[in-house]
Structure formats: structure tokens, C-alpha cells
């Protein structure tokens, strides 16, 4: 467990400082993290996907095994600051400088709902273990 956590932490640190570079992960898998700064990284509950929230206002979802881009979730009008998976891995929530929280369907990339009402930036988001 400690070895896996160390690899995930290292990947998150590398992604955080990558702007237009590549990430070398286990088995020399190269993942492009896109254009702009990385604000947050989240791993899916099954460990097969990684979501990257960035300064371009979008969230990119990657397949861990292939490094391929599965979806780009676009909808924040400012920087996407945080991202989290639902406990069952079927949904994604994101927050941003546009003071919104967005709920996404992972399989289709569909925006399900936008939560408004905050009056300032939302820097971090998480979900409870029971959803």
C-alpha cells in the first residue's frame, strides 16, 4: 500500500508541475497532460482512470492503462480547481473559479447539473464515501 501511495503521490506532483510536458508513469507509460496548468488530480475508485482539472477550465479523463484521453469535460468559465469521483466511479464532480460545482456522467461526458450560489471561488471539493 505504501508503494502504491508513493507512486500516486509522485504522479500527482509531476502532473502539478507539468504544463505542456509528459508524465512518465509505471512501465514508462507517457501521458500528455494537455495545455495549461494542472490544478487537481483524482484517481477513480477502481484505479483505472485519472481525472485532471486544469487552468483551461476543463477536466480531462484518462485511461491509466493506455494513457488515452477518454473525455474532456468542458463547462467551467474559469480555472477548474478541483475534481473528485463518486464512490461508485460513475460520476465526477468539479469546482472552479466560476463559483460553480458541476456534476458529470463519466461514461457519456454529459453535464448532469450545475450547482450555483457560491459567491467566491471554490478551491476544493470532495464527496462522502456513501455518495
Angstrom distance (rounded) from CA 126 to CA 95: 10
* Predicted local confidence at residue 86, as pLDDT: 94
Whole-structure pTM value: 0.71
Q: What is the pLDDT of residues 46-90, one digit of tens each?
A: 999 999 988 788 889 999 888 888 988 888 888 888 899 999 999
* Predicted local confidence at residue 112, as pLDDT: 93
State the chain's mean pLDDT as an integer: 75
* Predicted local confidence at residue 33, as pLDDT: 52
At residue 35, does pLDDT exceed 70? Answer: no
**Lowest mean per-residue pLDDT among 70-79, 93-102, 122-131:** 122-131
* Predicted local confidence at residue 36, as pLDDT: 65
DSSP assignment of the chain? -HHHHHHHHHHHHHHHT-SS-EEE-GGG-EEE--SS-EEEEEE-TTSSEEEEEETTSEEEEEETTT--EEEEEE--SS-EEEEEE-TTSSEEEEEETTS-EEEEETTT--EEEEE---SS--------TT-
* Predicted local confidence at residue 30, as pLDDT: 45
More confident residue, 122 or 75: 75
Amino acid at each position: 500500500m505504501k508503494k502504491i501511495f508513493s507512486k500516486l503521490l509522485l504522479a500527482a506532483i509531476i502532473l502539478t508541475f507539468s504544463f505542456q510536458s509528459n508524465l512518465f508513469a509505471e512501465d514508462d507509460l507517457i501521458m500528455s497532460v494537455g495545455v495549461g496548468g494542472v490544478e487537481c488530480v483524482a484517481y477513480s475508485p477502481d484505479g483505472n482512470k485519472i481525472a485532471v482539472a486544469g487552468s483551461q477550465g476543463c477536466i480531462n479523463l484518462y485511461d491509466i492503462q493506455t494513457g488515452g484521453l477518454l473525455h474532456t469535460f468542458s463547462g467551467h468559465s474559469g480555472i477548474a480547481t478541483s475534481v473528485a469521483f463518486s464512490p461508485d466511479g460513475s460520476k465526477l464532480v468539479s469546482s472552479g473559479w466560476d463559483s460553480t460545482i458541476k456534476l458529470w456522467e463519466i461514461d457519456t461526458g454529459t453535464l448532469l447539473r450545475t450547482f450555483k450560489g457560491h459567491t467566491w471561488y471554490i478551491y476544493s471539493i470532495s464527496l462522502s464515501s456513501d455518495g
